[in-house]
C-alpha cells in the first residue's frame, strides 16, 4: 500500500511538472473580442486659432461626422507658461446633428504662445460611438 501511494505521488508530480507555465507578465488577449478601431465616424476635425494685432484671439472649430446625430465639443484655449499649458478659457457646445461649429473670441495677454485643444464626443441614437482629440498650430502673441 505504501509503495502504491509513493508511485501515485510520483506520477502526480510528473504530471504537474509537465504542465505549461506562463511567466509572462503581459495580459493575454482574446483575439475574438479585442476591438481597437479609431476614427470610425468622424470625417474631419479642424482647429483654427488666430490672434489679431490687438490681442483678440478667435478660436474656430468644425467637426463633421458620417452618422452621428449628436456631437459634444469641448474647446480649450491654452497658454504656454512656466513649462506647461495653462487653460485661459474653455467652451462647450452640444449639437444634435452630424456637424458642430464653434467660433468664440477672447482678448489675450501678449508675450505667450497659445494653442487650441479640442475634444469631440460623438453619439448615435443616444449611444456613445467615438471620441476624437485635436490641436491647432501654436500662435505666439
Residue 78 — pLDDT band, cuts 50, 70, 90?
very high
Q: How much of the chain exceeds pLDDT 90, in percent?
A: 69
- Closest CA relative to residue 61, chosen from 98, 91, 106, 97: 91
Residue 29 counted as domain residue? no
Residue 6 lies in a domain: no
Amino acid 59: pLDDT: 97
- pLDDT value of position 4: 55
Task: Please give the average per-residue pLDDT across 33-55, as a whole number.
Answer: 77
In a domain, 52, yes or no: yes
Q: What is the pTM assigned to this prediction?
A: 0.70
Per the domain annotation, does 18 fall within a domain? Answer: no
- Contact yes or no for 131/121 (Cβ under 8 A): yes
Q: What is the pLDDT of residues 107-125, one digit of tens each?
A: 999 999 999 999 999 999 9
pLDDT band at 37 (very low <50, low <70, confident <90, very high): very low
Whether 122 and 38 have beta carbons less than 8 Å apart is answered as no
pLDDT at 44: 87
Asked if 120 and 46 count as a contact pair (C-beta separation under 8 A), the reply is no
Q: Is residue 24 part of a domain?
A: no
- What span, in angstroms and rounded, lies between the C-alpha atoms of 46 and 97? 17
> Domains in the chain: how many in total?
1
Q: Which range, of 31-40, 105-114, 132-141, averages the lowest pLDDT?
A: 31-40
64: containing domain: 42-140
68 belongs to a structural domain: yes
**10 located within any domain:** no
Amino acid at each position: 500500500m505504501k509503495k502504491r501511494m509513493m508511485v501515485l505521488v510520483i506520477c502526480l508530480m510528473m504530471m504537474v511538472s509537465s504542465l505549461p507555465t506562463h511567466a509572462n507578465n503581459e495580459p493575454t488577449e482574446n483575439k475574438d473580442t479585442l476591438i481597437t478601431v479609431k476614427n470610425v465616424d468622424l470625417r474631419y476635425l479642424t482647429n483654427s486659432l488666430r490672434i489679431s494685432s490687438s490681442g483678440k484671439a478667435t478660436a474656430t472649430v468644425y467637426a463633421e461626422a458620417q452618422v452621428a446625430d449628436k456631437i459634444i465639443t469641448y474647446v480649450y484655449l491654452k497658454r504656454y507658461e512656466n513649462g506647461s499649458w495653462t487653460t485661459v478659457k474653455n467652451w462647450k457646445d452640444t449639437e444634435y446633428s452630424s456637424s458642430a461649429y464653434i467660433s468664440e473670441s477672447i482678448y489675450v495677454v501678449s508675450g505667450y504662445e497659445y494653442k487650441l485643444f479640442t475634444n469631440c464626443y460623438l453619439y448615435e441614437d443616444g449611444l456613445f460611438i467615438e471620441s476624437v482629440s485635436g490641436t491647432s498650430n501654436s500662435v505666439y502673441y
